[in-house]
Amino acid sequence: MSTSNSTPKNSIASEQTDHQITGPHHEPPSVANATTYWRCTSCNRESIREQDLYCEAFHAEECEVADRC
C-alpha cells in the first residue's frame, strides 16, 4: 500500500497532531483489485470507506484519534 500523506479537507486530519487520519492512499496498479483507502496513524487501522475512520468503534481501544470522533 502507498504511504501518501495527503490530508482531506474538513477532517480530523486537518488538526495539528501526531496522530491523524490520512488519505486517500492509492494502491499501485500492480496490486490485483487495487483500491483507495484511508489510514489512522494512531492505531494503524485502514478502511476503503473514509467514513469508517470517523466512528469511535472503528479504532483500537487506546487510539488517540478515536477520542476526537
| Tens of pLDDT, residues 17-62 | 578 999 999 999 999 999 999 999 999 999 999 999 999 999 999 9
With a CB cutoff of 8 Å and minimum separation 6, the contacts of 13 are 7, 20, 21, 22
Instruction: Give a yes or no: residue 43 inside a domain.
Output: yes
Please say whether the beta carbons of 66 and 56 come within 8 A. Answer: yes
Task: Find the domain containing 63 and state its range.
Answer: 12-68
At 69, the pLDDT band (50, 70, 90 cuts) reads: confident
Instruction: Give a yes or no: residue 6 inside a domain.
Output: no
Instruction: Give a yes or no: residue 7 inside a domain.
Output: no
Question: How many domains is the chain built from?
Answer: 1
Instruction: Give a yes or no: residue 62 inside a domain.
Output: yes
Distance CA 57, CA 36 (A): 21
Amino acid of residue 52:
D
pLDDT greater than 60 at residue 16: no
Instruction: Give a yes or no: residue 5 inside a domain.
Output: no
What pLDDT sits at residue 68? 86
Instruction: Give a yes or no: residue 41 inside a domain.
Output: yes
Distance CA 16, CA 63 (A): 16
